[in-house]
Structure 1
């Protein structure tokens, strides 16, 4: 199950889990996490999973490339 940071609003963080969003306190999110990061709970905070984020970014890039190739 992927947890993805969708955004930040004030003292809340919007976390997407299986297509649904939920608000969590921003202080439960590691300071280095940014929008689009895949995160995991380490027992006290949500922290970025660098490898999962890289894989997700690459997958999205390939999907976008395929769409642009279809338009040509």
Structure 2
């Protein structure tokens, strides 16, 4: 299962999965995960997927560049 970290609210991490936001207890999220990361669930813990995070960051940067060049 893959998701995107929207942010943190107290004891929860907000993760978007298939367009739905899930409030996941922080103890189920690797402490190195940060807002904006693409994450995947491995062994019951959400961990950063570095390749997917980079792809998503690059896609967003390209979209922003396209907007400002128009």
| TM-score normalised to structure 1 length | 0.91
| TM-score normalised to structure 2 length | 0.94
Q: Any residues of structure 2 matched to 1:1-72 within 5 Å, and which?
A: 2-70=2-70
User: How many matched pairs?
Assistant: 70
Distance apart, 1:22 and its partner CA: 1.1
Q: In structure 1, what is the Cα distance between the partners aligned to 2:38 and 2:11?
A: 20
Deviations 1:12-54 (Å, cap 9, x if unpaired)? 1101012221101110000000000000011121000001000
List alignment gaps of at least 5 residues for structure 2. none
Q: Which has the larger radius of gyration?
A: 1
Structure 1 residue ranges (4+ consecutive) displaced by more than 2 angstroms after TM superposition: none
